[in-house]
Structure 1
Amino acid sequence: MRKTLFAFAILASALSITLTAHADTIDDFVLTGNGETVTFSLPATGVYTLHQHFDSFSASGPGTIDGAPATVGATFYVPYFEIVQSAPDLTIDSNPQSNIPDLYGSIPYSWFVVPAEFPNPEDEGTFNVTFVPGTYQLQTGNTFFDHPFTPPLPFTLSITPETPIAPTPEPASLILLATGALGAITTLKRRKSMAP
């Protein structure tokens, strides 16, 4: 009887096994302002090359401009060596081209730099960044890096983690364990019926 209960316990555990969803590592970016909306997705934690030119790193991928498919590139400026104090915080470069100018404001992310052993003149090292989800207010600037806007135009940047996939049963493991449990039950029943 104890062996039969053990077999049923194995079967019950087999039916409760699920495939755990992998942690989602993608953040969705939505930038709106001046009648334009740009969307793109980036790894929530990424590894980039930190370029000496304004201490920036760039990432690109598929996105949309006002709902139309586009390749969107985002250049984020980092106060690392602070070569240029008045550099913008975000520049959007896309194909087809958007009308969004350089933007200034705070875009929170945690980061650390692994300096290159023999860096190229334009590179400062490997930049590891983790974006902080939230909604951030940006605006156009009025410096020699940008066209003057009076008053500055407001923009909103939303960073949202993509919704993780719900856990789903893993059919192969369930079938394998259930078959083994049923085989064990059948074997125990046969032994019991053959016992004198």
Structure 2
Amino acid sequence: MRKALFALPLLASALILPRTARADTTDLFTLTGDSNIYTFTLPQEFTFPVENHLVTVAAPRTTGTINGVGGQTFDVDFYTGIGGTGESLKFGTVGNLAGPTLISFVSSTGAYDTAAIDTGSYRLIDFANSIKGPDYYYLTITPETTPPTPPAVPEPPTVLLLSTGALALLLASRVTPPTS
């Protein structure tokens, strides 16, 4: 009986304690060019169906800012380097930008592939929309993690919980069971 009473609180505490939180990793994009600054975030890794042709890969639709004005929606396609087009990014209203490949393939599960966005600073070129020569865009991709949301009620310090449990265990071991 005594062993069951000790195991019961241990089992209850293991079930009640919160699981370890994991922050989702995102990348912060800052694209500067043609007198505009575009900022938005995308997940560091994203999946896409294999049946898509692999010259371009669409990232999830995202929202961001243009020159500090929020609520803008962006469609972003990454060029994979297959086919040697020399382009790296197709970005909403800006169009195709030439430069290095910005993604790396991570894994394939048969029906879906996973790509990771490479962080760094890049100089991209817009050949199509320029009248007097190429327009240069500068793209910075920095890793950013979303912090876990804090609990609504602050949790008591670990030492307080540990000492309360140790005291209860000590008192429970001193109580003698009734003899009949």
TM superposition score normalised by structure 2: 0.67
* 2:112 is aligned with 1:126: yes
Cα separation, 2, equivalents of 1:187 and 1:115: 54
The equivalent of 1:44 in structure 2 is: 44
Alignment of 1:1-196 (within 5 A): 22-49=22-49, 51-52=52-53, 55-59=55-59, 60-68=61-69, 69-80=71-82, 82=83, 85-86=84-85, 88-93=87-92, 98=93, 100-112=94-106, 114=108, 126-141=112-127, 146-163=128-145, 165=147, 171=155, 174=158, 177-188=162-173, 190-191=174-175
Cα separation, 2, equivalents of 1:127 and 1:149: 38
Q: Secondary structure of the equivalent of 2:172?
A: helix
Query: For residues 101 and 150 of structure 1, do their structure 2 counterparts lie closer, same or farther at Cα, with a shift above 3 Å needed?
Result: farther
> What is the CA RMSD across the aligned residues, in angstroms?
3.6
Query: For residues 87 and 135 of structure 1, do their structure 2 counterparts lie closer, same or farther at Cα, with a shift above 3 Å needed?
Result: closer
C-alpha deviation, 1:138, in angstroms:
0.5
Q: Secondary structure of the equivalent of 1:171?
A: coil
Structure 2, unaligned stretches of length 5 or more?
1-17
C-alpha deviation, 1:172, in angstroms:
7.3
Cα separation, 2, equivalents of 1:155 and 1:26: 22
Percent of aligned pairs with the same amino acid = 29
Query: For residues 161 and 184 of structure 1, do their structure 2 counterparts lie closer, same or farther at Cα, with a shift above 3 Å needed?
Result: same
Cα separation, 1, equivalents of 2:116 and 2:88: 16
**Paired residues, what number?**
154
C-alpha deviation, 1:152, in angstroms:
0.8
Q: Secondary structure of the equivalent of 2:167?
A: helix
- Structure with the bigger RCO (C-alpha within 8 Å, sep 6+) is 1
- Write the letter of the residue equivalent to 1:67: G
Question: Which segment is superposed worse, 157-166 or 33-42?
Answer: 157-166
1:115–1:126 contact (8 Å) kept in structure 2: yes
- Write the letter of the residue equivalent to 1:76: F
Tell me the alpha carbon deviations over residues 131-183 of structure 1, each in whole angstroms, 9 at most, x when there is no partner. Answer: 12111110112xxxx345432111111111114649x8983794765542231
The equivalent of 2:4 in structure 1 is: none
C-alpha deviation, 1:40, in angstroms:
1.3
C-alpha deviation, 1:21, in angstroms:
5.1
Query: For residues 112 and 161 of structure 1, do their structure 2 counterparts lie closer, same or farther at Cα, with a shift above 3 Å needed?
Result: closer
C-alpha deviation, 1:91, in angstroms:
1.4
Cα separation, 1, equivalents of 2:31 and 2:137: 7
